[in-house]
């Protein structure tokens, strides 16, 4: 191989290595983003379920709705 061919071979090898490294970093970044989104979603769901369980108004919403519809204080009009 000539000197120019050797230089070209090494240049191509370095370019290939940089591209592969960049692709690996991008894949790791995307995986980390997915993990963060999953953790945020599960934390939000846990927060919502905890607040519903600790708040009797949320926990008994259907009972409150039924009580509101009874309205024993309302007069019947005929």
Cβ density class 5-31: b for 16+ within 10 Å, e for less = eeeeeeeeeeeeeeeeeeeeeeeeeee
Matching residue, tokens 């708040």: 55
Asked if the structure places residue 77 within a domain, the reply is no
Arithmetic mean of pLDDT over the chain: 82
Q: What is the tally of structural domains in the chain?
A: 1
Q: Look at 69 and 25; give whichever has higher pLDDT.
A: 25
Asked if the structure places residue 76 within a domain, the reply is no
Residue 42 belongs to what domain range? Answer: 3-70
CB 24 within 8 A of CB 16: no
pTM: 0.51
Helix, strand, coil shares of the chain, percent, nearest 5, are 85, 0, 15
Asked if the structure places residue 75 within a domain, the reply is no
Asked if the structure places residue 78 within a domain, the reply is no
Asked if the structure places residue 43 within a domain, the reply is yes
The yes-or-no verdict on residue 60 having pLDDT over 60 is: no
Asked if the structure places residue 36 within a domain, the reply is yes
């Amino acid at each position: 191989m000539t000197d120019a061919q050797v230089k070209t071979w090494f240049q191509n090898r370095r370019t290939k290595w940089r591209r592969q490294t960049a692709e690996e970093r991008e894949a790791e970044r995307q995986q980390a983003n997915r993990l963060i989104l999953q953790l945020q979603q599960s934390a939000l769901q846990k927060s919502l379920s905890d607040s519903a369980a600790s708040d009797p108004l949320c926990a008994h919403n259907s009972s409150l709705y039924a009580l509101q519809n009874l309205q024993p204080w309302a007069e019947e009009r005929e």
